[in-house]
Amino acid sequence: MPSSPTPSPTPEPSGVRRRSLLGAAAAAPVLASLAGAGSAAAAPAASATDSAGADPAGGPRALPGGGDLGPNVIVFDPSTANIQGRLDEIFKQQESAQFGTGRYALLFKPGTYSGLNAQLGFYTSIAGLGLSPDDTTINGDVTVDAGWFDGNATQNFWRSAENLALVPVSGTNRWAVSQAAPFRRMHVRGGLNLAPDGYGWASGGYIADSRIDGTVGPYSQQQWYTRDSSVGGWLNAVWNMVFSGVEGAPAQSFPEPPYTTLETTPVSREKPFLYLDGAEYRVFLPEKRTDARGVSWGNGTPRGTSLPLTQFYVAKPADSAATLNQALEEGLHLLLTPGIYHLDRTVEVNRAGTVVLGLGYATLIPEGGVTALKVADVDGVRLAGFLVDAGPVNSVTLLEVGPEGASADHSANPTTVQDVFVRIGGAGPGKATTSLVVNSRHTIVDHTWVWRADHGDGVGWETNRADYGVVVNGDDVLITGLFVEHFNKYDVQWNGERGRTVFFQNEKAYDAPDQAAIQNGSVKGYAAYKVGDDVAEHEGWGLGSYCYYNVNPSIVQHHGFAAPNRSGVRFHGLLVVSLGGNGQYECVINDTGSPTSGTDTVPSKVVQYP
């Protein structure tokens, strides 16, 4: 691993990660859990039965909009007693519950809170309920560390912080996460440390629409993506740090130091969020920005529109797919409260402008091989903040944005998919041929982690078989913050024209049994990122692929990236890495780029292609 260009008091740790080996040694000592017992605050009760009922005529009755947010949405105000005790209680439950069933959203009403340290475990979201992050100030910290995993942060997934201002006690807040852990719409009045205590391994994450007044120190983070934000400084880079539209970002300098910097983000539209307007809940829908730079809320009230909660069906985990579809057919949006939703049929989003917003990592599990959710070829749908978990019967797809052959122009009002994560295996048996399919033109996918599990339950080369991670067939699609890992064939296959990706992080499947299992015709292995042979225009910035063939370290992967060799297909800042010599790459993209170097975990890089 390259050394940090900026000296730090602690030597940079090794970048090799072995998620599948839960007992792997790390660079940091075990951290003691700070969770303590606390009394539970009262929470509104949720119905234990399906909300849909029959009217006297025997048909389904109209579903209500609005309602309580259920028992796993915990709402605090500055007068709430023993906030720290409640935070500690939830953290103690969720700290190491990587594949557990608990789901929580911790919401703070506008005001000032002092003396808090909100430690976040799995499936826990914390957010302020103001229109601006500065409406809700915590004089204290929102912390993610890795004591539960011996100081190794490579499995700190599925948690988030949003819409808060922090004044860290020490001057620096610690946010040591890896995939599926967004830090959105935050104002840190100090610095931000992205490494665990002891500077153990960490494997990459995501910041958007945030202002960090001090310096961001990634330390051991291998890759990181920051979008439409402002930073007071950035300390170092390991393999590739990517920025788009970030005030204060380091200048473009890849390969050394490995900074990939775009002055603006081509198109962005921030994630919808819940807020309080007086005593009433509303959902704010930020407007689309073109060539954005800096935060969306810098001059006070953000620009966009809002919807009252009465226009949402407030779903509970006991609700059936039929109930969710009925709500959508009646013109309601969906607010998915925390929990696990079992779907025996596909949730169909057919109306333009529909919002499907999850709280606390609400999780959709398709049963019987159905697709969890499909979106019609309509304008302005917003999907945000939920997890799709494959079921034990193979689904051909898990999430579809637009039907096959979709062709409508959505440039004025695209569909956005934000903090929507997909998992195959890990929590139990799961299979899917393709996880996420994007057919609609102009779709913006803003931060996703699509993961075929390499550890947990129901894991094995054929046990959680999943050939393709993300398939893009639509034209003019933009993805900002693309994390896709461990698929049996192509992790990303891009067939649409004029596609753009800003930041890509990938690991090839660990568990291939032999060379024959990954052979792609005459090519050794399926590329992590494949652009279709007929595509004329495509562009990507800051893309990395790693291999760690720990079942059979003799496996050779020809390249991480495959694309037509034509002038309209362009890449900037590419790298491949062999983690500790467990498998090797022969090239970076097509037949270009040096092979990886034996047992040394050192990237092979291509600055521009072609």
**Catalytic residue numbers, as ranges:** 507
Helix, coil or strand: residue 328: helix
Alpha-carbon distance of 157 to 160, in angstroms, equals 9
> What's the number of CA atoms in the CB half-sphere (13 Å) around residue 393?
9
- Asked if residue 213 lies in contact with residue 233, where contact means CB atoms within 8 angstroms, the answer is no
Alpha-carbon distance of 270 to 593, in angstroms, equals 36
CA dihedral 551, 557, 563, 569 (to 10 degrees): 90
- Asked if residue 15 lies in contact with residue 548, where contact means CB atoms within 8 angstroms, the answer is no
Do strands 273-277 and 280-286 pair parallel, antiparallel, or not at all (unpaired)? antiparallel
CA nearest neighbour of 237 among 275, 194, 182: 194
Integer angstrom CA distances of residue 329 from 81, 326, 593: 42, 5, 52
- Asked if residue 563 lies in contact with residue 554, where contact means CB atoms within 8 angstroms, the answer is no
List the beta bridge partners of residue 37. none
CA nearest neighbour of 20 among 599, 579, 586: 579
Q: Both tokens of residue 342?
A: 């079992």
Helix, coil or strand: residue 321: helix
Burial code (b: 16+ CB inside 10 Å, e: under 16) for 204-227 equals: bbbbbbbbbbbbbbbbbbbbbbbb
CA nearest neighbour of 5 among 304, 251, 281: 251
Exposed/middle/buried for residue 343 (C-beta within 10 Å: 0-12, 13-18, 19+): buried
For the chain, give the number of residues.
610
Letter for the amino acid at 350? N
Q: Both tokens of residue 348?
A: 């169909």
Max alpha carbon distance in the chain (Å)? 74
What separation, in Å, do the N-terminal and C-terminal C-alpha atoms of the chain show? 26
Alpha-carbon distance of 313 to 520, in angstroms, equals 46
Alpha-carbon distance of 420 to 472, in angstroms, equals 16
Alpha-carbon distance of 548 to 396, in angstroms, equals 27
Do strands 191-193 and 561-562 pair parallel, antiparallel, or not at all (unpaired)? unpaired
Per residue, what are the HEC states of 56-117?
A: CCCCECCCCCECCCCCCEEEECCCCCCHHHHHHHHHHHHCCCCCCCCCEEEEECCEEEEEEE
List the beta bridge partners of residue 259. 241
- Asked if residue 223 lies in contact with residue 201, where contact means CB atoms within 8 angstroms, the answer is no
